Amino acid sequence: MATDILTLRLLGEPVQPRASGVLWLPESRTLVVSDLHLGKAGRNARRGGGFWPPYENTETLTRLASEISVLDPALVVTLGDSFDDDACVAELDDETRDCIEALVTARRWIWVTGNHDPAPAGLGGESVDTIALGPLTLRHIAGQDVNGEISGHYHPKASLRIRGRRIVRKCFLATADRIVLPAFGAFTGGLDVFSPAFEPLHKCDACAILTGARPVALPLTRLRRMAA
């Protein structure tokens, strides 16, 4: 529904944070998604952390495939940490690998390298450290004072109290010239938007865009009061 479409301007470029956690760039028909962390359950088991339910890859890829089906992008950009580590690629079962390859080969696909996965191999697509789309720069980890930057890595989340109930949502963190995407992966945690790591984005125009049933934009000044 049109009422669920939220459009921001990043250096004048329209960007649309979606309720699912992907970012849509309508002028270039680019879908941007960050921190899928596929294989996180398997890596946890390898490191002696116990066994988690084994369907996180399916859930993450199903939600991503749904957004791709709705938006029909010309380009998909994953902003790094698409896999929880390089070994997760080798451990993919045939069904999951086939699903990924079907998504990747259907359109142009760029894997931005992350700190967990230097370069996913054998799955098609292109691997780069940084990509420029017009005035916008896409990378995994936010740089210093970079205008027009789209990044991931930090897994922003927002916590607020409504009618006495504490609600936590993954969120985008945005200013007029930078935006950090939430983690898209099913088993990913988050870092509160008021963490010191986000201080460079704690500007007067900063807002959190909560994911969920629909995207909800809250200025950080208001969110701080609602989080108390």
Question: What is d(CA 39, CA 49) in angstroms, rounded to the nearest whole number?
Answer: 14
pTM (predicted TM-score): 0.91
Question: What is d(CA 109, CA 73) in angstroms, rounded to the nearest whole number?
Answer: 10
Average pLDDT over residues 79-99: 81
Residue 45 to residues 56, 58, 88, 100, Cα–Cα distance (Å): 13, 18, 11, 22
Question: What is d(CA 187, CA 167) in angstroms, rounded to the nearest whole number?
Answer: 18
Angle, alpha carbons 128-56-127 (nearest 5°): 10
| Main-chain dihedrals φ then ψ at residue 173, nearest 5 degrees | -120, 120
- Going by C-alpha positions, the residue among 18, 7, 30, 122 that lies closest to residue 78 is 30
Q: What is the pLDDT of residues 34-69, one digit of tens each?
A: 999 887 555 554 555 444 565 778 899 999 999 999
Of 86 and 161, the one with more pLDDT? 161
Where is average pLDDT lowest: 6-10, 49-53, 186-190, 211-215?
49-53
Angle, alpha carbons 197-206-22 (nearest 5°): 80
Q: How confident is the model at residue 2 (pLDDT cuts 50, 70, 90)?
A: very low
Residues 6+ apart with CB under 8 A from 205: 175, 176, 219
Q: What is the pLDDT of residues 140-198, one digit of tens each?
A: 999 887 889 999 999 999 998 887 788 899 999 999 999 999 999 886 879 999 999 99
Question: How high is the pLDDT of residue 38?
Answer: 87
